[in-house]
Copies of this chain bind each other. A is one copy, B any other.
Amino acid sequence: MTGPQARRTAGPERLSPVQERGGRRKRTVERRAEITTSAARIFADQGYAHVGMRDIAEAIGIRGASLYHHFPSKEEILYAICLTVTKEPVEENLPLLDAAGTPTERLTALVGAHVRHLLRRRTEYLVGLHERPSLTPEHRADIDGHLQYYNRRVKDVLAAGMRSGEFRTMNPSLASLGILDMLNGVSSWIRGEADSDADEVVDTYVALLFAGLRAD
């Protein structure tokens, strides 16, 4: 702040990616994943702001100050968690909407993939969907952008199905919001983390969304 140069732009940070073989110190990449995973668990239980850097550090057996070797701030840990539940689904799930098949087939595939991804990253979803107000405005805008893009892609497949006469005509924007809220809500009550635990949820939700409650 007082010096002539911004400190983060001074040069490459030279994080040697690997220590000498078999070293007792963890590689940086491993540590980052360990930190975000552990932090997500604690954030989910106690809420982001109530958790201290010391809490996160002690959960993985190091001191609070050591975290700053891996993340420049507590908010950057939260940002990393949020990315795994917003950017990752965009990259992993949305391609299913570009595959061959009817809107029904493509949306069914997306629902299944979404729930299974959510189950693998359950705690991250709990944190990422609820703690966005604690992000910096820049990070918040980035995260919200991924969420909005995902929502828009779902809306588009709904609108395509309505145009082709395969889906009932309704407001596609509201329908996509409702469907995604329903899917994401799973994170707050699901137990277990195997794909088999997701199957019953997916079966019920697919029946509910495509056929509705009303019996034929």
Contacts and interface: CB of A to CB of B under 8 A. Distances in A.
Interface of A: 44-50, 104, 107, 130-131, 133-134, 158, 161, 165-171, 174-175, 177-182, 184-186, 188-189, 200-201, 203-205, 207-216
A216 B168 contact: yes
- In order of increasing CB-CB distance, the 9 nearest A-B pairs are A181-B185, A49-B49, A212-B212, A182-B182, A174-B204, A47-B133, A211-B212, A130-B130, A167-B213
18 contacts: A45-B133, A47-B134, A49-B49, A50-B134, A107-B213, A167-B215, A168-B211, A168-B212, A168-B216, A170-B207, A174-B200, A175-B213, A179-B182, A181-B181, A184-B185, A208-B212, A209-B212, A212-B213
Contact of A182 (B49, B134, B185): B185
A207 B210 CA distance: 11
A207 B178 CA distance: 12
B215 A168 contact: yes
Given A48-B49, A49-B50, A181-B184, A208 B175 contact: yes
Contact of A207 (B168, B177, B200, B201): B168
Interface of A is mostly: helix
A205 B167 CA distance: 14
A211 B189 CA distance: 26
Contacts of A45: 133
Of residues A47, A48, A205, which shows the largest number of chain B Cβ atoms within 10 Å of its Cβ?
A: A47
Given A185-B182, A209-B212, A210-B214, A47 B200 contact: no
A161 B210 CA distance: 18
B210 A166 contact: no
B204 A175 contact: yes
Nearest to A178: B182
